Amino acid sequence: MSDLTALQLIQRVIAKSGAQGRPQTVDFVSAGDPTSAVNGIAVMGQASLEGLRQAAAAKANLVFTYDPAFWATGDNLTRMETDALFLEKRAFIRAHDLVVFNLHDHLRDAMPDRIAAGMGQALGWQSDTANVNLFRRPPTNLLALAQELSAKLDDKTLRVVGDPKLAVTTVAASFGNTQQLPAIALLNGPADVLVCGYAHEWEVVEYAQDMISVGLKKGLVLLGENASVQAGMKSAADWIKTVVTEVPVTFISLPEPYWIL
């Protein structure tokens, strides 16, 4: 065990992130005692119970997670006080002296965006020099693009809007959750396809459908949240290893949540 506390390591990672803090941020300690001594760091897409078990098994008690441990942006706990699963998860965190820190905004706001950069790296795609979220691809089509994403991100449950034969040379990415107005701007930009983690099926999905319905040559791929950020967190773990050398840093890969028929 090191003499370093979770708080010291969190502060170091934030200081080295290169990102300005947001006035309102989701990056905070959502569970655990930040004065705990750290014997290892675990990095994952979402601090699921399975992810926390693997962290504890790896003797890593400081957890950096992209998505919240308590199932909602901002980990709103007041409404979960009587929830049996919440109490069980918190008891597990306490029993293993885990400290869970949401590391989201400081990755996305880095220059370049560490999630996007890591995803591009995992895909082996060269991004536009000016825009880490824009990729020029050798000519392909929407079906082949979906197959490539599925294979490289181990994503069996991705969903696609658009003509499978759509010609694709330019891909815009909005990894993770995509908001309606930024996604609309990306769909109206030079990209043939927008690749994202999740978008509401009463907003961006229908906007893309309507573009296609009026004859515009566009497509939309929904990877699912896990597949759309996980490789970014793996790359974040590699970066954290360069910042924290005193304790082991382990990336924990989680399977996609769903199965399909």
Site residues for another protein per CB under 8 A: 46, 48-50, 53, 67-68, 71-73, 79-80, 83-85, 88-89, 143, 146-147, 150, 156-164, 177, 180-181, 184, 188, 197-198, 200-207, 209-215, 222, 224-226, 257-261
CA distance 134 to 189: 10
Q: Least distance from C-beta 180 to another protein, angstroms? A: 6
Alpha-carbon span 213 to 144, nearest angstrom: 22
Across 153-179, b (16+ Cβ under 10 Å) vs e yields bebeebebbbeeebebeebbbbbbbbe
112 preceded by a cis bond (ω within 30 of 0): yes
**DSSP β-bridge partners for residue 172:** 134, 194
Q: Which is nearer to another protein, 96 or 241 (CB)?
A: 96
Comparison of 149 and 249: residue with beta carbon closer to another protein: 149
Contact (Cβ atoms closer than 8 angstroms) between residue 185 and residue 168: no
Q: How far is the CB of 209 from another protein (least distance, A)?
A: 6
* Least distance CB 36 / another protein (angstroms): 23
Q: Between 192 and 225, name the residue whose CB sits nearer to another protein.
A: 225
Nearer of residues 163 and 238 to another protein, judged by Cβ: 163
Least Å from the CB of residue 61 to another protein:
19
